[in-house]
């Protein structure tokens, strides 16, 4: 565990704009920053970050929080891991407390798997650098490929020995559990306690997630006569879902933002060689065809993508299908064909970055044009083939969501294909009516549902802990009224409401807003329905009689559900008190707490009474139906009492109204 002083230092150091910028492209607008929300799918930004309040809030999906909760949600990290992540980012040394057994038990599977992967990465790197077999086979292979030592270190490359269970044995010896060895896929379990390493006699490429943690490994076998597959990956697990990851994204993200462009290549070594040549905005889909999850990962940083193909055009036609998906997601797609016989790896080794980038800029073409040319060459003059080709191109254009871009492509294709624009338009409309009519929107829906379910799985854990921001109109009167008190507690809880002289000591005593609320509610034996609200109230008692910073206390609360409530209160300061504001438009709220706080409490009490009244009336009717005279009498008496209280409250409230 991390001690409170360190936690406070981390909160102080973590600048929300800097933290969010590592994952989302932000643009300044007024005093705030805006970007596309990473928590729901959107194309127009509604995700707002406030550097002055140190919070974020999405006006699309309602997600809100501080720097720590952002990292927790975005990276599905635990609270402690998010703090560690930020401590590392801001070079804050962490004073760790000894873990209690309960805390250790609390470590989730996910964390245990990540810890194991990190250990495995270090183990394999050490083997590569120090073991005879690692040096002779693995390291010499990387050196042959021209990888420099700093590149090998940066990408944390490693080597797995030929031996059946060298790694598994070592990991078990070091206290790592078999359960996680199997869950991460590093170890394969057979019958009768048979355990074997998944990766044997392979060089290893750790696959890093956005925050730099090792999620899995890709292994390449070096023996040419090997009977196994050339490449072998970690299996899908709780921490590794290859359809949502891109190789190199951790090392590329900043450069992608800076250059506003992302290069997409096929293999690990393509990424590494280009990096080494000085081109860092490059990622690989690792052999799988592109998925929506991967595309959206890129789109968080840029809408511009250039797909780089090997010189030999064999695989191009197959992969072209995947690119329609990029267009459909509204990306600007360009394509680059390398000279014959070259792949990004070999080509990068022959040039420096400026030559390579110059080549890219001079030779990249837009995807539709590229596809048209490619298919045109193939079709030749064959009219049937040409007709099929036009249908194919039209299909690609039809999925582009942006009208203007679509019309630009249509006009270009009309020239290349020598067909009137009207005919192409008619063809596209046909698609939108027949195949794409329902089909298209259904497909879109299916795609976004797929995405949603991936997301859901990822964030389920976090979301369970976050109070959903429900529609205010759906809240009951009572909740609304309670929320007004909570809002005052969060914003002004530590402000002094008034001072009184103590008769015994004749010293002045401070009463804060929180003190007042606590006393008022306790005197009438009232509590909040929502246990979190009640907890917030109880916690303020520790500050009784002293000034304190309530906003910071709640915003940075250890319980992220409470932090989330507070952030929402801070993000929408006046939503709940419009009624009270009308007459005091020119006086800031904190100047009239002495009127506001008692009034809001009276209103709450009034609501409680109303509900009691309603319940008594219902019970009375039931008693009447049951002809239970005794019960009817009892309820009647209770009701009269209630009416009396109501009168007093109404008078007080009325007085307040006159007073203000
Ligand atoms: Zn959102």
Neighbours of 342 (CB within 10 A): 16
Location of structure tokens 């209770």: 638
CA of 422 to the centre of ligand 1 (A): 39
Cross-sheet strand order for the sheet of 214-221: 158-160, 202-208, 214-221, 231-233
CA of 45 to the centre of ligand 1 (A): 9
CA of 492 to the centre of ligand 1 (A): 28
pTM of the predicted structure, to 2 decimals: 0.57
CA of 164 to the centre of ligand 1 (A): 48
pLDDT, position 460:
41
Question: How do residues 258-292 score in pLDDT, each as one tens digit?
Answer: 788 999 998 899 999 999 989 999 999 876 677 87
pLDDT, position 101:
62
Question: How do residues 394-418 score in pLDDT, each as one tens digit?
Answer: 888 888 877 777 888 888 888 888 8
H-type alpha helices, 131-248: 132-133, 140-144, 149-154, 166-173, 178-183
Cross-sheet strand order for the sheet of 47-50: 27-29, 32-35, 47-50, 55-58, 64-65
pLDDT, position 647:
80
CA of 89 to the centre of ligand 1 (A): 25
pLDDT, position 472:
39
Cβ atoms 72, 10 nearer than 8 A: no
CA of 61 to the centre of ligand 1 (A): 4
Question: How do residues 147-157 score in pLDDT, each as one tens digit?
Answer: 999 999 999 99
Q: Which residues surround ligand 1, an ion (CB under 5 A)?
A: 37, 39-40, 58, 60-61
CA of 461 to the centre of ligand 1 (A): 17
CA of 42 to the centre of ligand 1 (A): 8
CA of 36 to the centre of ligand 1 (A): 8
Among the ranges given (181-190, 317-326, 351-360, 428-437), the one the predictor scored with the smallest mean pLDDT: 428-437
CA of 48 to the centre of ligand 1 (A): 9
pLDDT, position 275:
92
pLDDT over 90 (residue 183): yes
Of the chain, the percentage scoring pLDDT greater than 90 comes to 26
For the chain, report the end-to-end CA distance as a whole number of angstroms. Answer: 50
CA of 63 to the centre of ligand 1 (A): 6
CA of 40 to the centre of ligand 1 (A): 5
Q: Strand, helix or coil at 119?
A: helix
pLDDT, position 105:
56
pLDDT, mean of residues 89-110: 69
Question: How do residues 100-146 score in pLDDT, each as one tens digit?
Answer: 666 555 566 778 898 899 999 999 999 999 999 999 999 999 999 89
CA of 624 to the centre of ligand 1 (A): 52
CA of 334 to the centre of ligand 1 (A): 29
Phi, then psi, of 144 in degrees rounded to 5 = -60, -40
CA of 559 to the centre of ligand 1 (A): 21
pLDDT over 70 (residue 522): yes
pLDDT over 70 (residue 297): yes
CA of 54 to the centre of ligand 1 (A): 17
CA of 583 to the centre of ligand 1 (A): 34
* Dist CA 389 CA 443 (whole Å): 23
pLDDT, mean of residues 64-75: 88
pLDDT, position 473:
40
Q: What is the mean pLDDT of the chain?
A: 81
pLDDT, position 60:
85
* DSSP one-letter string for 638-656: HHHHHHHHHHHHHHHHHHH
Q: Strand, helix or coil at 218?
A: strand
pLDDT, position 282:
95
pLDDT over 50 (residue 445): no
CA of 35 to the centre of ligand 1 (A): 10
pLDDT over 80 (residue 501): no
Confidence of residue 437 (pLDDT cuts 50, 70, 90): very low
């Amino acid at each position: 565990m991390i001690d409170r002083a360190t936690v406070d230092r981390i909160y102080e150091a973590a600048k929300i704009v800097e933290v969010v910028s590592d994952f989302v492209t932000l643009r300044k607008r007024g005093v705030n920053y805006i970007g596309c929300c990473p928590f729901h799918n959107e194309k127009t930004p509604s995700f707002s970050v406030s550097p002055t309040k140190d919070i974020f809030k999405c006006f699309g999906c309602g997600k809100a929080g501080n720097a720590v909760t952002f990292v927790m949600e975005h990276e599905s990290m635990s609270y402690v891991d998010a703090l560690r992540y930020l401590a590392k980012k801001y070079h804050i040394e962490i004073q760790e407390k000894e873990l209690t057994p309960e805390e250790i038990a609390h470590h989730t599977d996910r964390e245990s798997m990540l810890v194991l992967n990190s250990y495995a990465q270090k183990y394999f790197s050490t083997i590569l650098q120090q073991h005879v077999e690692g040096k002779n086979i693995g390291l010499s292979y990387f050196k042959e490929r021209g990888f420099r030592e700093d590149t090998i270190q940066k990408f944390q490359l490693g080597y797995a020995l030929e031996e059946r269970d060298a790694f598994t044995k070592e990991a078990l010896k070091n206290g790592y559990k078999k359960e996680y060895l199997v869950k991460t896929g590093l170890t394969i379990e057979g019958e009768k306690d048979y355990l074997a390493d998944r990766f044997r006699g392979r060089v290893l490429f750790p696959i890093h997630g956005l925050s730099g943690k090792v999620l899995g490994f890709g292994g390449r076998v070096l023996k040419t006569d090997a009977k196994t597959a050339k490449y072998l990956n970690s299996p899908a697990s709780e921490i590794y879902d290859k359809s949502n990851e891109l190789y190199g994204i951790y090392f590329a993200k900043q450069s992608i933002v800076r250059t506003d462009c992302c290069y997409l290549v096929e293999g690990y070594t393509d990424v590494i060689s280009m990096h080494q040549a000085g081109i860092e905005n490059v990622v690989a889909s690792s052999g799988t065809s592109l998925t929506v999850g991967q595309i959206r990962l890129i789109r968080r940083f840029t809408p511009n993508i250039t797909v780089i193909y090997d010189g030999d055009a064999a695989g191009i036609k197959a992969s072209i299908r995947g690119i329609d998906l990029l267009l459909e997601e509204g990306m600007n797609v360009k394509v680059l064909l390398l000279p014959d016989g070259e792949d990004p790896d070999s080509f990068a080794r022959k040039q420096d970055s400026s030559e390579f980038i110059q080549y890219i800029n001079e030779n990249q073409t837009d995807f539709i044009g590229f596809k048209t040319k490619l298919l045109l060459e193939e079709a030749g003059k064959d009219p049937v083939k040409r007709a099929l080709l036009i249908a194919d191109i039209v299909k690609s254009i039809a999925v582009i969501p942006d009208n203007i871009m679509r019309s630009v492509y249509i006009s270009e294709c009309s020239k290349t294909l020598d067909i009137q624009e009207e005919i192409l338009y008619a063809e596209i409309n046909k698609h939108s009516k027949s195949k794409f009519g329902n089909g298209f929107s259904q497909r879109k829906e299916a795609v976004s549902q797929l995405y949603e379910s991936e997301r859901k799985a990822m964030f389920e854990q976090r979301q369970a802990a976050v109070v959903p921001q429900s529609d205010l109109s759906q809240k009951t009167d009572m909740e609304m009224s309670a929320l007004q008190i909570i809002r005052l507690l969060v914003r002004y809880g530590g402000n002094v409401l008034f001072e009184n002289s103590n008769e015994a000591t004749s010293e002045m005593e401070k009463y804060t807003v929180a003190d007042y609320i606590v006393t008022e509610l306790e005197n009438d034996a009232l509590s909040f329905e929502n246990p979190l609200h009640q907890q917030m109230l109880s916690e303020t008692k520790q500050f009784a009689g002293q000034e304190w910073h309530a906003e910071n206390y709640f915003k940075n609360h250890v319980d992220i559900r409470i932090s989330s409530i507070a952030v929402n209160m801070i993000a929408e300061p006046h939503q709940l008190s419009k009624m009270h504001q009308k007459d005091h438009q020119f006086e800031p709220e904190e100047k009239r707490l002495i009127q506001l706080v008692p009034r809001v409490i009276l209103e709450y009490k009034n609501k409680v009474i109303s509900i009691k009244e309603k319940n008594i009336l219902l019970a009375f009717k039931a008693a009447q139906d049951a002809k239970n005279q005794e019960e009817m009498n009892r309820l009647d008496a209770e009701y009269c009492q209630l009416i009396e209280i109501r009168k007093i409250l109404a008078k007080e409230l009325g007085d307040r109204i006159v007073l203000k």
